[in-house]
Amino acid sequence: MPEKSNFILIEGIAQRAVYEQEVEMVERKGKGHPDTLADNVSEAVCRELCNYYLKSYGSILHHNVDKALIVGGRSAPSFGGGTVCEPIYVVVAGRAVTHVMKGGSIDVVPIGNIALRAMRECIRRTFRHLNLDEDIILDYKIKQGSADLVKVYEIGEKVPLANDTSFGVGYAPLTDTEKLVLEVERMLNSDEYKKKNPAVGEDVKVLAVRRRRKVDLTVACAMISRYIKNMDDYIKAKEDVKEDVLKLASNYELDVDVEVNAADKPSLGLIYLTVTGTSAEAGDDGNTGRGNRANGLITPNRYMSLEAVAGKNPVSHIGKIYNIVSTNIARKVYEETRKVKEVYVHMLSRIGYPIDKPLVVSVKVVPQDGVSLGGLKYDIESIVEGELSNVLRVRGEILNKPFEC
């Protein structure tokens, strides 16, 4: 490994921690939101390819399927029912090894079957009331990868070589506002909550703005028409959501105000009613990489990478691996040193270089009052080196735990 001073750069930053700032904005798009759905189908195809390659050939072969598009359909919801008039269209595009020499002959990888099976299962797990045979069209455009990138991938025998010149960004800790936004969406999309209030669809978006200790929380919930018999039912379902969110928010020392489906105009008959539980049924579209970052949030007050984590291979693609590793480093620096208010980690690698030897790891810290940067450097360097020495472990962590964008 290179000398520490060559690639690990540690600096203090003269800024207030986000929780100390006057204004903070945080967003999370739930699993039924078209952008999150695009992420999740990309990642589902990626994982299915990994499993197929491992089972058939003993290793994960080159692939990147991080280009998914959700094209909204058209629907006609009505109290107690409604129909999907034009199906949602979903396509996953990318590159993958499609042919393998095995036993002296060419083995064709069934890319289409793998992709469509993964997409179908992802959709089935996501939505309770979307008819896979009628409400959605699944498609794929996955071609053989370019020869140079495949070769770079293959020659990284012990330590994979970076698939791209790219970077990852992580930070710690989460603020109370960030934790609240995460918890609200997860609660509303939990199996337990769907049993309690089944009218709440899977397309849930939560956006918070904090001004000092006052938080305005806007929650968008696609309500499912079969559970809503009339306008009174709809208003009751909204009120229940608001009450439950406020109850959850009471766990935080924040003054929280909640508005649910803020665009509603009940007097004009304008309400957020859907047949399937997602806005994708009626014209809202989605793309991989437009939604939540690697930690599940969209945080304009923070440093962020714009990389799509979902769909990139977990072996060599820095756009996936370094966003996860940088977050792990940031969390450990915060938890183990106990001397910083905030920490930000930027990691960059150059294509063709081993992934455990980044070009630079930049660690920016906001120290606790009275703490000198010099007293932190050794501990931070040790944490960075430890995570890099175990960078191959990230692949298993990605594949062995449920994916959540």
Task: Give the tens place of pLDDT for each residue, 46-91.
Answer: 999 999 999 999 999 999 999 999 999 999 999 999 999 999 999 9
Q: How far is it, in rounded angstroms, from Cα 43 to Cα 314?
A: 10
Nearby residues of 230 by Cβ (< 8 Å), 6 or more positions away:
79
Measured CA to CA, the distance from residue 119 to residue 386 in angstroms comes to: 36
Model confidence over 1-48: pLDDT tens digits? 444 458 999 999 989 999 999 999 999 999 999 999 999 999 999 999
Token code pair at residue 50: 């990994």
Q: Where are the beta strands (DSSP E) in 212-339?
A: 214-224, 255-260, 273-274, 286-287
As given in the structure block, the two tokens for residue 354 are 């081993």
Which pLDDT belongs to residue 148? 65
- Rounded CA-CA distance 183/197 in Å is 17
- What tens digit of pLDDT does each residue of 318-375 get? 999 999 999 999 999 999 999 999 999 999 999 999 999 999 999 999 999 989 898 8
Phi, psi of 93 (to 5 degrees): -120, 155
Please give the C-alpha separations between residue 64 and each of 31, 61, 89, 163, 321, in angstroms, as whole numbers: 22, 10, 21, 10, 13
* Packing angle of the helix pair 393-400, 318-332 (nearest 10 deg): 100
Q: Which residues contact 105 (CB under 8 A, 6 or more apart)?
A: none
Phi, psi of 67 (to 5 degrees): -125, 90
CA 375, 379, 382, 387 dihedral sign is negative
pLDDT band at 101 (very low <50, low <70, confident <90, very high): confident
Lowest mean pLDDT among 103-112, 239-248, 316-325: 103-112
CATH number of 30-155: 3.30.300.10
Is the previous residue joined to 173 through a cis bond, with omega within 30 degrees of 0? yes
* Residue given tokens 């007050």 in the structure block: 301
CATH class of 176-287: alpha beta
pLDDT at 289 over 80: yes
Question: Tens digit of pLDDT for each residue in 341-355?
Answer: 999 999 999 999 999
What is the CATH class of 4-17+165-174+294-400?
alpha beta
Q: Are 4-17+165-174+294-400 and 176-287 equal in CATH topology?
A: yes
**Contact by Cβ (8 Å): 239, 144:** no
Q: What are residue 261's DSSP bridge partners?
A: none
What is d(CA 180, CA 165) in angstroms, rounded to the nearest whole number?
34
Domain range annotation of the chain: 4-17+165-174+294-400, 30-155, 176-287
